[in-house]
Structure 1
Amino acid sequence: MQPEKIQLGQILNCANNSESDNVVWVSDTADLVDTYCFMDDNKRPYNISECVEVAKLNTSILSLDGFEVEYMMVPLYKRMILEAADAYDICMSVIASPKFGIKSFSQEWDSETKKQLLGSIDHELGTKEEPLVIRLFMASSRTFRKKRDTQFNVDNKEIQDYYNMTVFPKFVWVCEISSKALYENQQVLGEIIIDATSSPDAKMDSIIIVNYPYALCRRMPEDFLKASEACFEEVKEWKPYDIFRGNLTDCQSL
């Protein structure tokens, strides 16, 4: 389910780096979705219900289709070690990093680029007025790369070559990065790809690709434990591209 456009920026999270005092404000699309498609043996398949917050005994609980929600468990493939919470923390660390974060790159954009990506030049990307819009998801590398290869074949040939030359594990976590203006058009301005089969202890060493406008950093298996030494390469020809939808199905049509 996609959040309504008007909701973007209403709920903000803060990604910060304590060593550099780098602060980036983020709007996570997952915080804006309250409708879920689930299976219940007592009801028709693929039932769609809204998860709402209900007051109870001086506290609040989540209610889904009349049931009180205590936990949500999502089964993963046996070779997937990195959980969603760990993947989220790693991506937030990358975003706030003085070396890998997008803020240091966005400050170098000219007015034309800012207007193209942000819709205006009034605010810097990563501020409360113009937060990063992120979407975190898991995908098989085969499906993900096939979709991106098709997308990049049109306007991002240089990025396509970098992706094709990079070794991917069987599963990846992807954090798409966008602005409010681009997300309204279902487009992104970059993404962070991390190894879903790596240990949570690897932290930022699980980075595979950090893809930003006109700059890309990629790491190969032999670069393990050397994320601090990774460098960005200049991308001369770059354009925004569509969000990944290869692992999503519209439940309304089922």
Structure 2
Amino acid sequence: MSITTIVCSPHELKEELTLVMTEEFAVSQKNAESAYDGRLEEFFNRLKGSAQFVIEYPYVDKVYRDSYYSYFSSKLQQYQRNCIRVSVFDGSVAPDQFRNATGVADLRSRYWGFVIIRPTIPNVLGRSVVSPRALRENGFLCLTSKFQTTVCAVKFEAVGFPHASQDTETITCAETALWAMMEYFSSRYTEYKPLTASTIMNTLRNQSYFRQLPSEGLSIKQMSFALRELGFGTKSYLRTMYSSASFTNLLSIYIESGIPLILSISDRYIGGGIGHAVLAIGRTETTSDDIDRLVVSMEEDAVVAARMCEKNIRIVECADIEHRFVFIDDNYSAYQLASLEEPMVYYNNDSWRRCEIVEFLVPLYPKVYMDAMAARLYIKDVLMGERFNIPSDTELFIRVFLTSSRSYKDYLAIEDNFPGKFKEAILNLPMPKFIWVGEISSRVLMKQRMANGLVIVDVTEIQTSGDHALLAWGYGEYCYYKNGLVVKLVQNTIPLKMFNIFINNLKGF
């Protein structure tokens, strides 16, 4: 059985793809067209007009094959075991370009990713990785990774975030969210492995009291358990346990930290029956107007609030900016944009539009013991201390995020605006694998992507009294940093002026 390749333009795609589905999946033309209109049209219509496509079939997809052998092959109705792969390029593609070095180099520079079409009619949108650059509207920042693939037997590298639709039988929205998250982590870190439907089933076997196939979805507790078994120190945030402002603030801090989150979506608070799981992986870029619209946050901690009032210090938080966030939703194509207040606004159904985020799961590194809530409060407490010496009647802009110490030191090493002696002290400071960072700035400076103060916090220390969790901080004329592993901070008179903010988590601000 040989592989067939078709090169086509956007206006030819529907005709070519439905014909291939009819032949390969042994379905009627009507069902093929219905599957295209219902699941694929929205996906392809969001791509830029310059997109060109290479269709290859039959294609063996590892994710679908796992579902096929664990479930679909046992059904009376015959399901095909092969898929179709559609590769996306920016601009024209000629078949002979795949057979010479110059042509391949040109195609690699214009490669936008791939999408797998599987024979699970009508839910045919399978595993895909498409670059945000391929979209007509792409003014957002989000997590991406690199995935090795081939087109016409030539190696290519797809850059994007994994996405797939649920087949409703072996994977629902919960399993799809877990799969996409682990696909992302396994492509970036060797300690994590990719998931398949059968792996999820085996992981949760001891947590399931009923049959696992066909899937009836997973509870938030089951997803938390699965993430823990897969190597994460999972943290859950339930909306009813926090004020509305704190809940969205915490979610935003984790997105700013470059961590994909599983969001539990529901309309049950108004008596509905919708329950859904999506991933949040990024946000829109920050504008000067976004910063101007920020209002002073009402501090909920009584001690910190009293100190702020006494010193007449006001705080605006980066995490309170009303961005639109980037969602991976298996009911739609990748990179949907919506606010945290109306997360399902892109649906054409009023019940879905009324849904809210009721809980979110954070897949933290197991040795991150201090969570965002504690880090945010601790940084504010440090700012209100006597040593920070913030002038009275000051408005501070603070930006809190989690990052790896390796990534932060790499940024700091080449940050020319940072004082040399303080820089060397931080670079030579022993740190855990991850750190919390608080950048101190003002609205004016932040519009220039600049800060003038810094707090670095040890994520492995939950003792927040005194200086136990502090690694280093600087503001104004003074800086403090730990002398090796000694608890006591060393004070130094080193003026900390303006420096560029850290943008490595989302590759932008």
TM-score by length of 1: 0.73
What are structure 1's unaligned runs of at least 5 residues? Answer: 53-62, 108-123
> 1:143: Cα distance to partner?
0.3
Q: Secondary structure at the match of 1:193?
A: strand
| Residues 68-83 of structure 1: pairs in structure 2 closer than 5 A | 68-83=356-371
Question: Which of 93, 110, 114 in structure 1 is aligned with 2:381?
Answer: 93
2:397 matched to 1:133? yes
CA distance 1:158–1:13, change in 2 (3 Å):
farther
CA distance 1:168–1:81, change in 2 (3 Å):
same
Amino acid across the alignment from 1:246: N
| Cα contact 1:215–1:233 (8 A) shared by 2 | yes
> 1:216: Cα distance to partner?
0.8
| Residues 19-98 of structure 1: pairs in structure 2 closer than 5 A | 21-52=310-341, 63-65=342-344, 66=353, 67-98=355-386
CA distance, structure 1, for counterparts of residue 476 and residue 295 of structure 2:
25
> 1:250: Cα distance to partner?
5.8
> 1:72: Cα distance to partner?
2.6
CA distance 1:19–1:45, change in 2 (3 Å):
closer
CA distance, structure 2, for counterparts of residue 48 and residue 176 of structure 1:
27
TM-score by length of 2: 0.38
| Cα contact 1:29–1:134 (8 A) shared by 2 | yes
- Other-structure match for 1:242: 500
2:284 matched to 1:5? no
| Cα contact 2:399–2:440 (8 A) shared by 1 | yes
> 1:245: Cα distance to partner?
0.5
Which is higher, the Rg of structure 1 or of structure 2?
Answer: 2
- Other-structure match for 1:232: 491
CA distance 1:49–1:102, change in 2 (3 Å):
farther
| Cα contact 2:440–2:453 (8 A) shared by 1 | yes
CA distance 1:18–1:186, change in 2 (3 Å):
closer
- Other-structure match for 2:452: 189
Q: Secondary structure at the match of 2:334?
A: coil
Please provide the CA RMSD for this pair. Answer: 2.7
> 1:69: Cα distance to partner?
1.4
CA distance 1:82–1:155, change in 2 (3 Å):
closer
| Cα contact 1:151–1:241 (8 A) shared by 2 | yes
- How many residue pairs get matched? 211
| Cα contact 1:39–1:46 (8 A) shared by 2 | yes
Deviations 1:210-249 (A, max 9, x none): 121332101145333x5xxx3521115x531111001114
| Residues 92-111 of structure 1: pairs in structure 2 closer than 5 A | 92-99=380-387, 101-103=388-390, 107=391
| Cα contact 1:93–1:204 (8 A) shared by 2 | no
Deviations 1:82-111 (A, max 9, x none): 100000010010011112x341xxx4xxxx
| Cα contact 2:430–2:484 (8 A) shared by 1 | yes
> 1:173: Cα distance to partner?
0.4
> 1:44: Cα distance to partner?
1.8
> 1:71: Cα distance to partner?
1.9
> 1:148: Cα distance to partner?
1.0
CA distance, structure 2, for counterparts of residue 36 and residue 203 of structure 1:
36
CA distance, structure 2, for counterparts of residue 102 and residue 43 of structure 1:
50
2:430 matched to 1:162? no
What are structure 2's unaligned runs of at least 5 residues? Answer: 1-283, 345-352
Q: Whose helix proportion is higher, 1 or 2?
A: 2
> 1:32: Cα distance to partner?
1.3
| Cα contact 1:151–1:242 (8 A) shared by 2 | yes
Amino acid across the alignment from 1:161: E
Amino acid across the alignment from 1:92: K
> 1:200: Cα distance to partner?
4.9
